[in-house]
Amino acid sequence: MTEKIRPLLAGNWKMNGTRDSLTEIKAIAEAITPAQALKVEALLCPPATLLYVTTALCQDSPLAVGAQDCHQHRSGAHTGDISAEMIADCFGTYVIVGHSERRRDHAETSELVRAKAEAAHAADLTAIICVGETLAERQQGQTIAVLQKQIEASVPQGSTAQNTVIAYEPVWAIGTGMVPQPSEIAEAHSFLRSDLVTRLGRTGKSMRLLYGGSANPSNAAALVGIENVNGLLVGGASLKAVDFIAMYGACLKQPA
């Protein structure tokens, strides 16, 4: 069912990073060659305060730059929010929507996530839509049901492999050091692939499915070797250039 897919290694810096961190970003940008980027795409999503300077720093690098969230509206009286158009205006090309920390900390619903993804598409950004179950939901055997519900409500109709990436991030594995068994990741990604094909047709076969949740240099190779895992969405381990570059190397070594 799967097709040849160009993997993606995405770093989500979350609420980390100041101007002092630009040396790490510069090191990552300089380490990735155009030839490598043809095989594996690399992306950093720094905090909004560093977005514009990061895109400027990476203008001669194949390293893509994105944001961590966007508002569902183009503009208006929404103090503190950032629109998808503003991200594009800073030369960002991606935006993460529906991360579990946004769903938890800001009570974001899947319907709101869908609206944000639609806003991203309208601004010609690629939306990375995050889905995943809590520990209680997994223990109750609800993982697949949760993923199905979140995909149905979060992914806009008309989404394509060019403007949408799905990131499976089991909530209980994010930042905890806990990682699901390979068979559990494979089961979740197999379901997501099948469900996306059912919903979106042929584009569902080539849409990238990332795994996220305590991914790091020591387990990156094993994670990207799992069927239907087309890359990683990495949190804390993406803050240091040496770690990000090591994980990128693990992705490059996977069979084409």
Structure tokens that stand for 153 in this block: 């409500």
Structure tokens that stand for 27 in this block: 């090191």
224 vs 42, 130, 142, 186, CA distance in Å? 14, 17, 24, 11
CB atoms within 10 A of CB 188: 26
205 phi and psi angles, rounded to 5 deg = -75, -25
Query: Distance between CA atoms of 111 and 212, rounded to whole angstroms?
Result: 22
Give the three-state DSSP class for 71: strand
Is residue 99 part of the annotated active site? The answer reads: yes
Contact 180/133 with Cβ under 8 angstroms?
A: no
Catalytic residue from among 99, 108, 133, 189? 99
Contact 33/256 with Cβ under 8 angstroms?
A: no
Sequence-ordered list of residues with C-beta below 8 angstroms from that of 53, at least 6 positions apart, any chain? 19, 22
Catalytic residue from among 85, 101, 133, 169? 169
Catalytic residues, by residue number, are 99, 169
